[in-house]
């Protein structure tokens, strides 16, 4: 009996060693590391952004993605950047001429190794697909039926041609399946006609295009919740679709008008429940207005809409004039947003249940400086807010500083402990993520990007 005990101990020891090794491997496989991702434009008012990864202290700046090696359009801005799950979501004007939208939704993995264009479907970003192929022909005409020669015609995933003097055009070797075809009025890219077509192998598809419309769509500010991707549609509505661009579902739309066009000033979907926080604030609507009073809550389908923060009840609140960041805290206890208060930019934290104002950080104007703020959300652990400070000084270029501010467990902001992270006049967007070391597989036909 005594001789068997050491053997049993050895077996148990080896099993424990194996188990600890497996646990260690699993822990390594799921290890995450916080990163801040920043979109920085090329300057000179160019919408040509590069995405960088930073350490949470602002160091270790590393480029991970740009559009420069993409087919047909080697540029594009990045706005509305959000890190959600294993990918970065944003909207961009990249390849905008190939779709009926000026801005579309995109995603890249956290390592920037591929690009997926989500809107406006079908397969808006699928380039370089293999045959079997068909042919697409057609005519571009004026509204009176006369031919329109020299009109740019763009076929998504294929390329572009100009219509002939009789208005005709032709695309050979077009891969099968659905895609967008868009024709623009010569010399005016704001006037267009677009159709969703489906190409059949070995067949010729004829298309008639009449570019007499002036309203292009905009898909902006993507927020992912489960299989849904919410976005702001053409400034006035919130819709959701899927990665495969299923038929969009509208969950919120502004109504009426006051001193200007009503719009969705900002929104977010709560990370666990999917509840929507919607900022719809417009000055000049009057005390009886019920549509544009401030911060609203709704369920994930847009139902049970209720006013959480009545910003019209305090005349010191006003809008910034640009889409304002609205973000749930990771635990859904708080909602933070940026606006103006008493004429100064502010990032404010509210209780998500009662709507009570808890804390804020503001940058009041001085005799030589004025400021603006862009808000980019919370750190994954909910202990920091990430934002951008715009400083304007007479006779000097605009300064932009990416910064973070600590948040206490009761929602209070520690304005004495603000940390500057990055100083660059071309910062456009940023987000904070718990980055894993694995990249999801690409589902698109875009060529694999080369990491920098």
From first CA to last CA, the distance across the chain in angstroms is 64
pLDDT-derived band at 166, boundaries 50, 70, 90: very high
Same domain, 277 and 163: no
Q: In angstroms, rounded to a whole number, what is the distance separating the alpha carbons of residues 106 and 26?
A: 31
Residue 99: inside a domain, yes or no?
A: yes
Count of structural domains within the chain: 2
pLDDT-derived band at 147, boundaries 50, 70, 90: very high
Same domain, 227 and 306: yes
Residue 256: inside a domain, yes or no?
A: yes
Q: What pairing do the DSSP bridges indicate for beta strands 217-225 and 101-109?
A: parallel
Q: In angstroms, rounded to a whole number, what is the distance separating the alpha carbons of residues 197 and 199?
A: 7
Q: How confident is the model over 324-368, as pLDDT tens digits?
A: 789 999 999 999 999 999 989 999 999 999 999 999 999 999 989
292 close to 254: Cβ distance less than 8 angstroms: yes
Within 112-233, strands assigned E span 116-117, 133-140, 152-155, 159-162, 168-175, 177-185, 188-199, 204-209, 217-225, 228-233
pLDDT above 60 for 303: yes
Residue 190: predicted pLDDT: 81
Same domain, 233 and 257: yes
- Taking the CA atoms of residue 161, residue 166, residue 167 and residue 172 in that order, the dihedral angle to the nearest 10 degrees is -40
Task: Tell me what the mean pLDDT of segment 182-211 comes to.
Answer: 92
CA-wise closest residue to 142 among 52, 208, 72: 208
Entry field: residues in the chain = 452
Burial of 54 (0-12, 13-18, 19+ CB in 10 A): buried
Share of the chain above pLDDT 70, in %: 86
Same domain, 315 and 409: yes
Point out the least confidently predicted range of 16-20, 69-73, 118-122, 182-186. Answer: 16-20
**Residue 103 gets which letter from DSSP?**
E
Same domain, 293 and 412: yes
Can you give the CATH number for the domain in which 181 is found?
2.60.40.10
Kindly list the distances between the CA atom of residue 278 and the CA atoms of 247, 265, 308, in Å, as whole numbers in the listed order: 22, 8, 10
Q: How confident is the model over 59-105, as pLDDT tens digits?
A: 999 999 999 988 888 999 999 999 998 899 999 999 888 888 999 99
Task: Tell me what the mean pLDDT of segment 159-184 comes to.
Answer: 94
Q: In angstroms, rounded to a whole number, what is the distance separating the alpha carbons of residues 303 and 237?
A: 14
Same domain, 203 and 270: no
Q: How confident is the model over 175-186, as pLDDT tens digits?
A: 998 889 999 999
pLDDT-derived band at 289, boundaries 50, 70, 90: confident
pLDDT above 60 for 19: no
Q: Evaluate the omega torsion of the peptide bond into residue 122 and state whether it is cis, within 30 degrees of 0.
A: yes
Can you give the CATH number for the domain in which 246 is found?
2.120.10.30
pLDDT above 70 for 46: yes
Q: In angstroms, rounded to a whole number, what is the distance separating the alpha carbons of residues 386 and 412?
A: 15
pLDDT above 90 for 447: no
Structure tokens at 274: 């999917």
Structure tokens at 261: 């066009």
pLDDT above 70 for 22: no
Residue 238: inside a domain, yes or no?
A: yes
């Amino acid at each position: 009996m005594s001789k068997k005990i050491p053997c049993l101990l050895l077996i148990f020891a080896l099993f424990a060693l194996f188990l600890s090794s497996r646990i260690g491997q699993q822990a390594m496989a799921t290890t995450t590391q916080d990163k801040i991702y920043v979109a920085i434009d090329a300057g000179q008012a160019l919408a040509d952004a590069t995405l960088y990864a930073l350490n949470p202290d602002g160091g270790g700046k590393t480029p991970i993605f740009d559009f420069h090696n993409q087919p047909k359009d080697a540029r594009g801005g990045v706005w509305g950047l959000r890190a959600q799950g294993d990918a970065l979501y944003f909207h961009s004007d990249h390849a905008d001429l190939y779709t009926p939208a000026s801005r579309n939704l995109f995603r890249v993995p956290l390592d920037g190794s591929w690009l997926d264009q989500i809107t406006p479907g079908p397969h808006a970003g699928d380039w370089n697909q293999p045959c079997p192929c068909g042919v697409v022909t057609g005519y571009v005409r004026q509204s009176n039926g006369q031919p329109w020669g020299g009109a740019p015609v763009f076929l998504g995933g294929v390329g572009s041609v100009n219509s002939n003097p009789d208005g005709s055009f032709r695309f050979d070797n077009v891969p099968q399946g659905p895609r967008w075809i868009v024709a623009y009025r010569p010399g005016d890219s704001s006037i267009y006609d677009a159709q969703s077509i489906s190409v059949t192998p070995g067949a010729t598809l004829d298309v008639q295009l009449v570019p007499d419309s002036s309203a292009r769509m905009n898909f902006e500010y993507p927020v992912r919740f489960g299989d849904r991707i919410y976005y702001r549609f053409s400034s006035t509505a919130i819709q959701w679709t899927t990665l495969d661009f299923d038929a969009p579902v509208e969950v919120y739309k502004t109504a009426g008008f006051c001193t200007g066009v009503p719009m969705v000033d900002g929104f977010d979907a709560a990370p666990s429940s999917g509840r929507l926080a919607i900022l719809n604030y417009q000055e000049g609507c009057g005390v009886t207005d019920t549509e544009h009073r401030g911060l609203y809550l709704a369920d994930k389908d847009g139902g049970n809409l209720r006013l959480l923060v009545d910003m019209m009840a305090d005349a010191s609140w006003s809008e910034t004039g640009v889409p304002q960041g609205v973000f749930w805290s990771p635990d859904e206890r708080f909602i933070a947003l940026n606006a103006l208060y008493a004429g100064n930019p502010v990032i404010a934290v509210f209780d998500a249940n009662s709507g009570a104002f808890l804390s804020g950080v503001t940058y009041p104007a001085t005799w030589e400086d004025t400021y603006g703020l862009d808000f980019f959300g919370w750190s994954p652990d909910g202990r920091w807010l990430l934002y951008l400070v715009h400083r304007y000084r007479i006779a000097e270029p605009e300064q932009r500083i990416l910064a973070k501010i600590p948040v206490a467990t009761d929602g209070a902001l520690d304005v004495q402990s603000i940390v500057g992270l990055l100083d660059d006049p071309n910062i456009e967007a940023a987000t904070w993520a718990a980055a894993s070391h694995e990249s999801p597989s690409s589902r698109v036909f875009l060529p694999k990007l080369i990491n920098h």
